[in-house]
Amino acid sequence: MIRRGLGLNALCGGRTLARNLSAVVMPPSNHSSKPYKGPDFEKVKKIKQDNLVPCLLTYYRKPLLIHEGKMQWLFDHEGKRYLDMFGGIVTVSVGHCHPKVNEAAISQMNQLWHTTNIYLHPKIHEYAEKLASKFPGDLKVFYFVNSGSEANDLALFMARAHTHNSEVVSLRNGYHGMSPYIMGITALSTWKYNVNTGGGIHHTMNPDVYRGPWGGSRCRDSPIQTTRECTCSPEACEASERYYEQLQDVFRYSLPSGHVGAFIAESIQGVGGTVQFPKGYLKKAYELVKSNGGVCIADEVQTGFGRTGEHFWGFEMHGVTPDIVTMAKGMGNGFPMAGVVTTPAIAQSLAAALHFNTFGGNPVASAVGKAVLEVIEEEGLQQNCEVVGTHLLKGLSQLRDEFGEVVGDVRGKGLMIGVELVADAQARTPIASSHFLDVWEDCKDMGVLLGRGGLHGNVLRIKPPMCITMADADFTIDVLRRAISNHLQKKRKNLS
């Protein structure tokens, strides 16, 4: 394995790296992929070019053709094995093709695929009852849909119908989906089109303690803090107060007489680059919203189902109880399913007219969702997220210390992790895209698949299946260390 302790500080003048970096060793797997029998690589590329919309971008300079998955592993058409540290965009929660989840789907498909909710069928009721046991308070009434965008779309509509207020506040840098109705509350310019996506939407300053004007080394609820200094105390986060004042200004100046329909926020921002809010911010924001007649929506599409480790839902780390919670992705371990949960009083707002989702809560989806919950419990995956995730975060923070001029920030909780790469540590200048791609591609070639996020596309997103092991975490750290070292060697060679 690669030895720790090598970083940019080993480079000075005309000197080269002081240590020879040995080959990284991938943890073993007892699964071998079946021979690939689909269209060849070039044919697949041609079909994509001719028959799929161009916005469906693929990762990497040389794209992967994946044809099989097993737990935390993916296999390409040539049989090469990869450690999936992105989980199908934070979607594969309990492992690719988990046997219990597969069996639940197959068994239900052999009995009843679909009937919709015009008839009673047992699976949706069994699932709703089990899922309700995971929520606090009056969050007991579910509406099942098919994707996170649909869930957030419905949550926003439900909030407006209940409060009779159309004004909605979301955070800059937040991502909530791509449906035309919900695209307006997504506040990342790279995900927005030049079309009207709805009125009554206001974006407040993102409380980012790494990139924002306030915050530092005492502000996050995380094993790893940013290296920025701050004057916050354990009892009071000054950065939280400053960002909260910005939210108050939105209420003062932008909302009609202070009234608001809804406030929506992720518990940890996902697509935006795994951004964590300062301690206490979300609690104060919720109080402000509720005091002005609004409801609070927690977007748990990426942070739910135990991924953050300490809690089953991300909002619990903030000490708040939302009025509406949206969920998707890990809910079905890759099966297309999503949902909204709310209180009986808010749910009643949809009874004013007919509202129906053809596939939401169908028998197969409900069987899959129930099996996912059972696997999380039986295999202790929430606890695994906390233990392995903390170990991984601490290892990545060592990389930040070793390669401080490239690794600007490490953040997250459980297995919801981001590593921000920079060109200038002091100015926090995002690393050039070509240099990011060098590191990213190198990790892929060594067998580790990582996500990419942040407004500037400079954050490595690490959100693997929740079944990964300590050995997988160490392998990821070693591969990333090697990739960064290779990048620095190349950079130094170009400068000499």
H-only helix segments in 292-380: 344-347, 363-378
- 106 and 239 in a single domain? The answer is yes
- 448 and 334 in a single domain? The answer is no
Listed residue (397, 425, 414) closest to 228, CA to CA: 425
- 338 and 436 in a single domain? The answer is no
pLDDT in tens, the chain (496 residues): 232 333 333 333 333 333 335 678 999 999 999 999 999 999 999 999 999 999 998 999 999 999 999 999 999 999 999 999 999 999 999 999 999 999 999 999 999 999 988 999 999 999 999 999 999 999 999 999 999 999 999 999 999 999 999 999 999 999 999 998 899 999 999 999 999 887 899 999 999 999 999 999 999 999 999 999 988 887 889 999 999 999 999 999 999 987 999 999 999 999 999 999 999 999 999 999 999 999 999 999 999 999 999 999 999 999 999 999 999 999 999 999 999 999 999 999 999 999 989 999 999 999 999 999 999 999 999 999 999 999 999 999 999 999 999 999 999 999 999 999 999 999 999 999 999 999 999 999 999 999 999 999 999 999 999 999 999 999 999 999 999 999 999 888 887 7
- 167 and 183 in a single domain? The answer is yes
- How many Å apart are CA 224 and CA 418, to the nearest integer? 11
Q: Is residue 92 included in any domain, yes or no?
A: no
- Please classify residue 303 by burial: count the beta carbons closer than 10 Å to its beta carbon, then call 0-12 exposed, 13-18 middle and 19+ buried: buried
Give the other-Cβ count within 10 Å of 157's Cβ.
Answer: 17
Q: Is residue 94 included in any domain, yes or no?
A: no
- Please classify residue 119 by burial: count the beta carbons closer than 10 Å to its beta carbon, then call 0-12 exposed, 13-18 middle and 19+ buried: exposed
- 63 and 119 in a single domain? The answer is no
Residue at which a domain ends, from 343, 378, 413? 378
- 296 and 423 in a single domain? The answer is no
* Whole-model pTM over 0.85: yes
- 268 and 351 in a single domain? The answer is yes
CB 373 within 8 A of CB 129: no
Residue at which a domain ends, from 332, 349, 378? 378
The Cα-based distances of 377 to 87, 159, 267, 387, 461 in angstroms read: 19, 32, 22, 15, 25
- 210 and 248 in a single domain? The answer is yes
- Please classify residue 492 by burial: count the beta carbons closer than 10 Å to its beta carbon, then call 0-12 exposed, 13-18 middle and 19+ buried: middle
Domain count, the chain: 2
Q: Is residue 90 included in any domain, yes or no?
A: no
- 346 and 420 in a single domain? The answer is no
What number of residues does the chain have?
496
Residue at which a domain ends, from 378, 394, 410? 378
String of DSSP letters for 395-448: HHHHHHHHTTTTEEEEEEETTEEEEEEEEETTTTEEPPHHHHHHHHHHHHHTTE
CATH number at residue 235: 3.40.640.10
- How many Å apart are CA 385 and CA 306, to the nearest integer? 7
Query: Checking DSSP bridges between strand 459-462 and strand 451-453, what pairing results, if any?
Result: antiparallel
Structure tokens at 376: 């999380």
- 193 and 338 in a single domain? The answer is yes
Question: Whole domain around residue 399: which residue ranges?
Answer: 8-85+381-495
- How many Å apart are CA 109 and CA 112, to the nearest integer? 5
Q: Which residues pair with 145 in a beta bridge?
A: 338
- 107 and 52 in a single domain? The answer is no
Q: Is residue 91 included in any domain, yes or no?
A: no
- 449 and 331 in a single domain? The answer is no
CATH number at residue 454: 3.90.1150.10
CB 433 within 8 A of CB 421: no
